A = this chain, B = another copy of it.
């Protein structure tokens, strides 16, 4: 991903919410990365405390955290996300140090952001911000999350291209007033599948550091690209219904699910031996989760026993790793 960014003259600002780990952050530093994305003020604090000096919080600014934001902005290059005139005005009135901001654009995901056609609202936000010279407009940012719903690789590519065209259109309109503004995009499916990013200045993928079953199912990666698994002990076996129970539940894997052959699944169990998992020896899907229990529907001819460790490939690595971080589970390098 770092090489792809260099080849396209893009700033590579990877999203660190996927791993939330200072140690894994160092792998990025070795690849030349010095600007990052996070999804909360507390995550920004954590990485600032680990030497990261250029951080975008890619989450709509929570004005209740203004004192923590001011503290951060006093010691690093901080960028916030703004999508309303009210928040822009609040920041203009309340920031103490130079603080950058991106305006969030909704290029079709419809979770957050301003509709790109709403030029009056965009101008209103930028006018409100301009009343404080310390509040510096950096550019437009979008998350093309609609690629997760795409039915094919071609559809992912065309959704991403349409979003990039939309963003470029905004740059044309606003560049005279804000020369050199940045266009930032970043979802793992687009960034994995595209080779060129016409008109774009910055990419912010995060999930690709681990990938997961969801990315595999939409075609962003191979099964063997998945770079995180959770080692779980088998605690009960029920051969009469082809099931095994693992100590690994919603508290460890998260309840993120995926449709597979008409049913929700929560992970894929594979062989695990001496700290290595093997995707070529699948045991079956996790078909149900409670707080601590996971139920595996065991494939034919698989024999498991209590006390055996098996590996679970997660549906959504960001959430599973969040659970692991929170549970202070030891994460070992493969």
B235 close to A59 (CB less than 8 A): yes
The reply on A256 being an interface residue by CB < 8 A is yes
Q: Given A62-B233, A306-B84, verify A40-B254 contact (CB < 8 Å).
A: no
Contact of A111 among B290, B306, B323 (CB under 8 A): B290
Cβ–Cβ < 8 Å partners of A192 in chain B:
none
Chain B residues within 8 Å of A245, by CB: 60, 111-112
Number of copies: 2
Chain B residue at smallest Cβ distance from A309: B64
The docked-state distance in angstroms from the alpha carbon of A60 to that of B309 is 15
Q: Is the interface of A mostly helix, strand, loop or mixed?
A: mixed
A27 to B327, CA, bound (A): 25
Other-chain contact of A251, B233, B322, B327 (Cβ < 8 Å): B322
Distance of A6 Cα from B151 Cα, bound (Å): 58
Interface flags, A58-81, vs B, CB<8A=1, else 0: 011111100000000000000000
Identify A256's interface contact among B83, B110, B255, B319, CB under 8 A. B255
Q: Does A39 contact B (CB under 8 A)?
A: yes
Produce 1/0 per residue, A193-234, CB < 8 A to B. 000000000000000000000000000000000000000010
